[in-house]
């Protein structure tokens, strides 16, 4: 394989396919913060978004290309449907990056051709080379995907792929769009492509897959054995429906079991050279950042990044681990950056100590952002004796949620107890209506707060999820609240942390309301569900 990179390339699509998860939408600052962290993690490619979707999506991809796509940075990629207007918008958005890529796609399964595209196989075979060569006229690096490849006729796939490579595609991506295939089927599909596409040696084979049957990671590992060299995945496995293949699971499977996978890349089983370029110690921090900003809570038993992934509860296990760690542990928690959450700072710590610790944690803040972080730190230190790294992470990740917000929470007061009717008084500042205060009663303090906020905001919605978890241990720990609101079938999440869970709930609710108004104003296109229509590019 002429194009074999000799290792496995990690293509992160958290900001594109991950952000397509219901309720996971991110603002520009949040996307930038995640992209910067993905660069520190060491991914090869960041798929930063679908630029044609809206002016906001275009601006986010462009900012990431400018600020993260530098000399030693990753390739910055944008998604485009197989249409000239999508491809042109994508090329413009990724242009500032030193290494830029256009990822264009069209469906190839008969069910998509008949019901979604309403096109014949011949028509698709005509569109593919036209669009790939158009993309190649704008950038050097073009990826082409056959959407729903997992359910496509392999003989038709071979023809489409050959045409795409002849037109200049440098990466060919094979998505299991609906998460339908099994590992052996997916491996066979990749092997078939390797054997039957005459020019396949001129492109890198990539895989993309959804987790509807919980098989995405297993499918990818089988694909590597059969020649795939790029994995498209997301942090915490977020994505449409059951999500995408999870980056941390793939990277750690290739790390822990490299003796098993090395020979499939033509290496000695004992070769110590890592199979991916990911800095595994950055995994935990990246996972927390993505969870905090998207509001997608990580299940406690999730492999690698779940709260229980390295906890040894049972007495027998603990005894074994104390005698020899390897009895029940296959990964040292430090490999994924899970430190002992060491107590770092307190009430008397100064600005430079806070800055130094934040820098050690990988947060390089501007002067204004540091001022704000320090003010929040001081406020927290008045209420909490010891400030841990997790607390600092919660403070910083909350900051990037603030810009562009229509609503600002100014005051929350509640009275409740065994013989009181829970009552909340809330002051909200609204860009449209100014600052107002109301009181409301509820079944509990959180219900009373939400009811007051709903009266003030005047935006009907259903609260469909409310979850609280503590950031660290101890009675004075910060509580993290995640809230999900539904309006007109769309979901919006909000997230906040405070030592007072009622205050955290109010902040999370306001955060969700801000996302709701921003989401409704944005009216983005969905790359897979919206048809390529008249070429009216959104006003940029």
Per CB under 5 A, residues contacting Zn ion are 17
Which residue, 531, 538, 516, 521, is CA-closest to 22? Answer: 516
Q: Which is nearer to ligand KIV, 47 or 393 (CB)?
A: 47
Cα dihedral 485, 486, 492, 494 in deg (nearest 10): 0
DSSP assignment of 350-370:
-HHHHHHHHHHTT----HHHH
Identify the residue among 11, 52, 58, 105 touching ligand KIV (CB under 6 A): 105
Retrieve residue 66's tokens: 């400018």
Q: Rule CB under 6 A: say whether 479 interacts with ligand KIV.
A: no
Burial (CB count within 10 angstroms: exposed 0-12, middle 13-18, buried 19+), residue 356: middle
Site for ligand KIV in 352-391 (CB under 6 A): none
For the bound state, the minimum distance from the C-beta of residue 175 to Zn ion, rounded and expressed in Å, comes to 6
Query: Which ranges in 167-282 belong to alpha helices (H)?
Result: 183-196, 216-225, 247-256, 258-261
Site for ligand KIV in 177-196 (CB under 6 A): 177
Residue 116 DSSP label: I
Burial (CB count within 10 angstroms: exposed 0-12, middle 13-18, buried 19+), residue 256: middle
CA 412 to chain centre: 32
Q: Rule CB under 6 A: say whether 211 interacts with ligand KIV.
A: no
Cα dihedral 396, 401, 404, 410 in deg (nearest 10): -90
Q: Rule CB under 6 A: say whether 147 interacts with ligand KIV.
A: yes
Separation of alpha carbons 197 and 144, rounded Å: 15
**Residue 389: which of ligand KIV, Zn ion, none does it interact with, CB under 5 to 8 A by kind?**
none
Q: Which is nearer to ligand KIV, 217 or 456 (CB)?
A: 217
Identify the residue among 8, 9, 17, 454 touching ligand KIV (CB under 6 A): 17
Retrieve residue 133's tokens: 């060569």
Burial (CB count within 10 angstroms: exposed 0-12, middle 13-18, buried 19+), residue 58: buried
For the bound state, the minimum distance from the C-beta of residue 208 to ligand KIV, rounded and expressed in Å, comes to 5
Q: Which is nearer to Zn ion, 17 or 389 (CB)?
A: 17
**Residue 30: which of ligand KIV, Zn ion, none does it interact with, CB under 5 to 8 A by kind?**
none
**Residue 105: which of ligand KIV, Zn ion, none does it interact with, CB under 5 to 8 A by kind?**
ligand KIV
Separation of alpha carbons 60 and 63, rounded Å: 5
Could you identify the residue written with the tokens 């219900």? Answer: 447
For the bound state, the minimum distance from the C-beta of residue 179 to Zn ion, rounded and expressed in Å, comes to 9
Which range touches ligand KIV (CB under 6 A), out of 171-179, 365-373, 500-508, 516-524?
171-179
Separation of alpha carbons 64 and 59, rounded Å: 9
Residue 415 DSSP label: E
Q: Rule CB under 6 A: say whether 246 interacts with ligand KIV.
A: no
For the bound state, the minimum distance from the C-beta of residue 107 to ligand KIV, rounded and expressed in Å, comes to 8
Retrieve residue 517's tokens: 């108004």
Q: Which is nearer to ligand KIV, 210 or 302 (CB)?
A: 210
**Residue 528: which of Zn ion, ligand KIV, none does it interact with, CB under 5 to 8 A by kind?**
ligand KIV
For the bound state, the minimum distance from the C-beta of residue 33 to ligand KIV, rounded and expressed in Å, comes to 23
| Contacts with ligand KIV, 497-536, as mask; x by CB under 6 A | ------------------------------xx--------
**Residue 187: which of Zn ion, ligand KIV, none does it interact with, CB under 5 to 8 A by kind?**
none
Which residues in this chain contact ligand KIV in the complex, by CB under 6 A? 17, 105, 145, 147, 173, 175, 177, 208, 210, 527-528
């Amino acid at each position: 394989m002429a194009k074999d990179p000799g290792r496995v390339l990690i293509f992160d699509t958290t900001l594109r396919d991950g952000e397509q998860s219901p309720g996971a939408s991110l603002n520009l600052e949040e996307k930038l913060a995640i992209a910067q962290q993905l660069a520190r993690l060491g991914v090869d490619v960041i798929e930063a978004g679908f630029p044609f979707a809206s002016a906001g999506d275009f601006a986010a991809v462009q900012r990431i290309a400018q600020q993260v796509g530098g000399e030693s940075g990753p390739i910055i990629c944008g998604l485009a449907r197989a249409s000239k207007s999508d491809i042109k918008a994508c090329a413009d958005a990724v242009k500032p990056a030193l290494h830029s890529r256009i990822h264009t796609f069209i469906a190839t399964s008969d069910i998509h051709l008949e019901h979604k595209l309403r096109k014949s196989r011949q028509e698709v075979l005509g569109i593919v080379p036209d669009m790939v060569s158009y993309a190649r006229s704008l950038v050097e690096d073009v990826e082409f995907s056959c959407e729903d490849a997992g359910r496509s006729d392999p003989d038709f796939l071979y023809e489409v792929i050959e045409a795409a490579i002849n037109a200049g595609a440098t990466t060919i991506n094979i998505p299991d769009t609906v998460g339908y295939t099994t590992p052996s089927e997916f491996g066979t599909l990749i092997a078939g492509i390797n054997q039957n596409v005459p020019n396949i040696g001129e492109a890198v084979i990539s895989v993309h897959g959804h987790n509807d049957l919980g098989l995405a990671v297993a499918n990818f590992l089988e694909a590597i054995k059969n020649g795939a060299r790029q994995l498209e995945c997301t942090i915490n496995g977020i994505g449409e429906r059951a999500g995408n293949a999870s980056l941390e699971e793939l990277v750690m499977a290739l790390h822990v079991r490299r003796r098993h996978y090395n020979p499939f890349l033509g290496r000695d089983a004992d070769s110590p050279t890592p199979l991916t370029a990911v800095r595994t110690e950055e995994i935990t921090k990246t996972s927390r950042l993505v969870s905090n900003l998207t509001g997608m809570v990580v299940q406690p038993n999730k492999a690698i990044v779940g709260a229980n992934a390295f906890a040894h509860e049972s007495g027998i296990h603990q005894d074994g681990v104390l005698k020899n760690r390897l009895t029940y542990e296959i990964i040292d928690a430090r490999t994924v950056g899970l430190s002992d959450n060491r107590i770092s700072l307190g009430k008397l710590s100064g600005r430079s100590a806070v800055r130094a610790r934040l820098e050690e944690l990988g947060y390089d803040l501007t002067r204004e952002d540091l001022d704000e972080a320090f003010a929040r730190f001081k406020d927290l230190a008045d209420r909490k004796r010891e400030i841990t790294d997790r607390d600092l992470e919660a403070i910083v990740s909350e900051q990037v949620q603030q810009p562009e917000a229509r609503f600002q929470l100014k005051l929350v007061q509640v009275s409740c107890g065994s013989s009181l009717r829970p009552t909340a008084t809330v002051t909200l500042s609204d860009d449209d209506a100014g600052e107002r205060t109301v009181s409301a009663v509820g079944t509990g303090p959180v219900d009373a707060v939400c009811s007051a906020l709903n009266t003030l905001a005047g935006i009907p919605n259903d609260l469909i999820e409310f979850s609280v978890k503590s950031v660290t241990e101890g009675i004075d720990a910060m509580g993290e609240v995640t809230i999900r609101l539904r309006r007109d079938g769309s979901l919006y999440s909000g997230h906040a942390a405070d030592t007072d869970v009622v205050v955290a709930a109010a902040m999370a609710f306001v955060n969700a309301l801000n996302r709701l108004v921003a989401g409704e104003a944005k009216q983005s296109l969905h790359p897979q569900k919206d048809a390529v229509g008249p070429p009216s590019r959104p006003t940029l």
